[in-house]
Copies of this chain bind each other. A is one copy, B any other.
Amino acid sequence: MLEKDLKAAWAIYLNIDQKFCLMKRKGSRFERELIEELWENGFAAVRVAGSGASHFPCPDIVAGDGSAFFAFEVKMRKNLPLYLSSEEIKKLQEFSKAFGASGYIALKLPREKWRFFRIEDLKKTPKGFRIDEDVYAMGKDFHDLKGIIQTRLPYHDQKGFYGSRNE
């Protein structure tokens, strides 16, 4: 049997379409590249399993370096602007708050290095958020992330604390 036929049959069996699979694979490849670069830059980083499927809010990547913790939603685009739904930003915020991480959008454009964007720096649109040229110009790089010192409140104060937690 041809490999192609087998793949197609398997996709039908799983009730998913191949285009979706291809998108997922491509997304995973970029996520793995970011994981590599995070480790190279001194962060321990993991890809989250089933980040699109879980009924709990969860990001694509979680990383930490012992002093700061990050939750990344990973995006790759051919060009700007990048549009983000209110829903996905809300989930990233919810997870970040519950975990104790800073939520960031990680964006890869062709022939550009990874750039990282805080939720506060995104531009609001009627249906969600946008990263345009202006926002992109303010994106952080790995060096900026390493400089972030996450301040932490004493335990009991922190439990009731729901503001922005770092930077």
Q: How far is the CA of A58 from the CA of B36 in the complex (A)?
A: 13
Question: B residues within 8 A CB of A45?
Answer: 56
Question: B residues within 8 A CB of A159?
Answer: 66-67
Q: How far is the CA of A64 from the CA of B64 in the complex (A)?
A: 11
> Is A142 on the interface with B (CB-CB < 8 A)?
no
A67 contacts which of B44, B63, B101, B152 (Cβ < 8 Å)?
A: B152
Report how many copies the assembly holds.
2
A46 contacts which of B3, B35, B49 (Cβ < 8 Å)?
A: B49
A165 contacts which of B9, B66, B158 (Cβ < 8 Å)?
A: B66
> Is A110 on the interface with B (CB-CB < 8 A)?
no
Q: How far is the CA of A45 from the CA of B62 in the complex (A)?
A: 10
> Distance in Å from the Cβ of A139 to the closest Cβ of chain B?
23
A44 contacts which of B3, B43, B99 (Cβ < 8 Å)?
A: B99
A64 contacts which of B13, B28, B56, B101 (Cβ < 8 Å)?
A: B101
Given contacts A35-B56, A155-B149, A100 and B46 within 8 Å (CB-CB): no
> Is A83 on the interface with B (CB-CB < 8 A)?
no
Question: B residues within 8 A CB of A158?
Answer: 66-67
Q: How far is the CA of A166 from the CA of B136 in the complex (A)?
A: 38
Interface residues of A, Cβ cutoff 8 Å to B = 1, 3, 6, 9-10, 13, 28, 35, 39, 43-51, 54, 56-59, 62-67, 69, 95, 97-101, 149, 152, 155, 158-159, 161, 165
